[in-house]
C-alpha cells in the first residue's frame, strides 16, 4: 500500500475511541481487560482491532493463550496514538485554562537531583499561585523518563540533565549547577578524619547509582583518574528511602546531590565527609520535547522551577 493510500485508510478508520482502545490493549496486553476498561464487550473490542488490521493489511498484535503482544507495526501505531491522544488532552486543558484562567494538569518526571528541594518548592509555588492546577509526579532514571517524555507521557523532566542528541527531538534548559558530595551517617567512623581522599574511601562499602546513569559514569571516572578501581560490590540504587535507611543503619557511604544532603544534615541523619568535590558540579535543569508548545499548566510549573533555581544558585554561592 502506498503512503497516500495508507494515510487515507488511517484517517477514515481510526476513530478517537479506536485510538484509546489500541493504547489500552497495548498497555494491558489483554483485549478482555482493555474492553472492560472501556465498558465494551470483548467481541466488540476484538472486532475493532480486527477491522483496523484488515483495513491496513497489517498485524497489530501477536495472539497467544496469555494475551496479546504488539507487533512492530502495533508498537508504531500505539506510539502515534498516544501522541494524538496527548495532544487532544493538552488542547482540552488549554481551552479550559482560557475559560477558567487557572486550571490544567502537568505531568512531570523527576530525577534524584530535583526531588529534594527544587521540584517540591516549585510545586508549592505553583499550587500557591495556581491552586486549581493539578500535578502528577513520576520518578525514575533518565533513560526511562526520557522514553516517557518522547511519547508525551510527560510534559517536563527535571533533574540532572542527560546528554540528549538533537535528533531525538528533545531540548534541555540548564537552571543551575549542583555539587555532588560524599556522605555517611553523622556518627560514622570516617567523620572524625580530615582531608580524606578517594584512596581512603575505595575499600569502603558504597551505595552507587546504577551503571546506566550519568552520575555513575562521573563517579567511576573520578576513581579511574586517581588510578583506582571502582569500589567492589556496591549496592546500586536510586531509591532515596532505601539509601537513607542503609546509611543510617550501616557503615556504607554514598555520593549524593548537595541539595539532597542538606535536607538530611538539618535533622542530623547524615553528614558530608571531609573530602574535596570529586566531580565538577553537574547541570540541573529541565528536558522538554523540542518543537512542542507547552500547555499552560506545564508552562506555569516551568516558570516556578526557574524562580526556585535562582534561589538555589544564590545559596550555593554562599556555600562554595
Q: Which three cell numbers stand for residue 11?
A: 484517517
How much is the pLDDT for 222? 95
Question: Could you tell me whether strands 206-208 and 270-272 are parallel, antiparallel, or unpaired per DSSP bridges?
Answer: unpaired
CA distances from 165 to 79, 170, 243 (A): 20, 8, 31
Mean pLDDT of 73-82: 86
- E strand or H helix that includes residue 283: strand 282-289
Q: Which of 11-20, 53-62, 83-92, 122-131 has the lowest mean pLDDT?
A: 11-20
Checking if the pLDDT of 215 tops 50, the result is yes
How much is the pLDDT for 3? 44
DSSP conformational letter for 250: S
* pLDDT bracket for residue 39 (50, 70, 90): confident
How much is the pLDDT for 1? 45
User: Which has more pLDDT, 144 or 92?
Assistant: 144
Checking if the pLDDT of 13 tops 70, the result is no
- For the chain, the average pLDDT equals 86
* pLDDT bracket for residue 97 (50, 70, 90): low
Rounded Cα distance between 271 and 242, Å, is 17
Top mean-pLDDT range of 135-149, 156-170, 186-200, 258-272: 186-200
Buried b (16+ CB within 10 A) or exposed e, 162-178: bebeeeeebebeebbeb
Checking if the pLDDT of 219 tops 60, the result is yes
Checking if the pLDDT of 56 tops 90, the result is no
How much is the pLDDT for 93? 63
State the pTM of this model: 0.65
Rounded Cα distance between 85 and 67, Å, is 24
Mean pLDDT of 196-222: 93
* pLDDT bracket for residue 167 (50, 70, 90): low
Burial class (CB in 10 A: 0-12, 13-18, 19+), 229: exposed
% pLDDT > 70, the chain = 89
CA 320 vs. chain centroid, Å, equals 29
Amino acid at each position: 500500500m502506498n503512503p497516500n493510500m495508507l494515510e487515507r485508510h488511517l484517517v477514515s478508520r481510526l476513530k478517537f475511541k479506536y485510538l484509546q482502545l489500541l493504547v489500552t490493549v497495548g498497555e494491558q496486553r489483554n483485549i478482555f481487560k482493555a474492553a472492560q476498561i472501556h465498558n465494551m464487550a470483548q467481541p466488540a473490542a476484538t472486532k475493532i482491532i480486527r477491522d483496523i488490521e484488515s483495513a491496513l493489511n497489517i498485524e497489530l498484535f501477536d495472539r497467544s493463550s496469555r494475551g496479546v503482544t504488539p507487533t512492530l507495526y502495533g508498537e508504531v501505531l500505539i506510539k502515534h496514538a498516544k501522541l494524538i491522544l496527548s495532544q487532544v488532552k493538552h488542547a482540552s486543558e488549554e481551552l479550559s485554562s482560557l475559560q477558567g484562567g487557572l486550571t490544567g494538569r502537568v505531568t512531570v518526571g523527576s530525577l534524584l537531583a530535583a526531588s529534594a528541594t527544587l521540584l517540591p518548592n516549585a510545586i508549592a509555588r505553583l499550587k500557591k499561585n495556581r491552586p486549581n492546577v493539578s500535578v502528577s509526579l513520576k520518578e525514575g532514571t533518565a533513560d526511562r523518563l526520557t522514553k516517557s517524555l518522547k511519547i508525551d507521557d510527560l510534559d517536563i523532566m527535571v533533574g540532572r540533565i542527560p546528554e540528549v542528541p538533537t535528533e531525538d527531538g528533545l531540548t534541555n534548559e540548564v537552571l543551575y549547577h549542583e555539587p555532588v558530595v560524599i556522605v555517611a551517617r553523622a556518627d560514622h567512623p570516617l567523620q572524625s578524619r580530615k582531608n580524606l581522599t578517594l584512596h581512603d574511601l575505595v575499600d569502603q562499602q558504597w551505595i552507587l547509582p546504577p551503571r546506566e546513569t550519568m552520575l555513575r559514569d562521573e563517579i567511576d571516572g573520578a576513581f579511574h583518574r586517581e588510578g583506582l578501581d571502582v569500589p567492589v560490590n556496591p549496592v546500586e540504587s536510586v531509591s532515596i528511602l532505601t539509601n537513607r535507611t542503609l546509611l543510617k543503619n550501616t557503615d556504607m557511604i554514598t555520593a549524593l546531590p548537595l541539595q539532597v544532603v542538606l535536607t538530611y544534615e538539618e535533622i542530623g541523619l547524615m553528614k558530608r565527609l571531609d573530602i574535596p568535590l570529586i566531580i565538577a558540579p553537574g547541570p540541573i535543569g529541565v528536558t522538554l520535547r523540542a518543537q512542542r508548545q507547552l500547555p499552560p499548566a506545564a508552562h506555569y510549573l516551568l516558570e516556578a522551577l526557574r524562580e526556585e533555581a535562582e534561589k538555589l544558585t544564590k545559596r550555593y554561592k554562599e556555600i562554595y
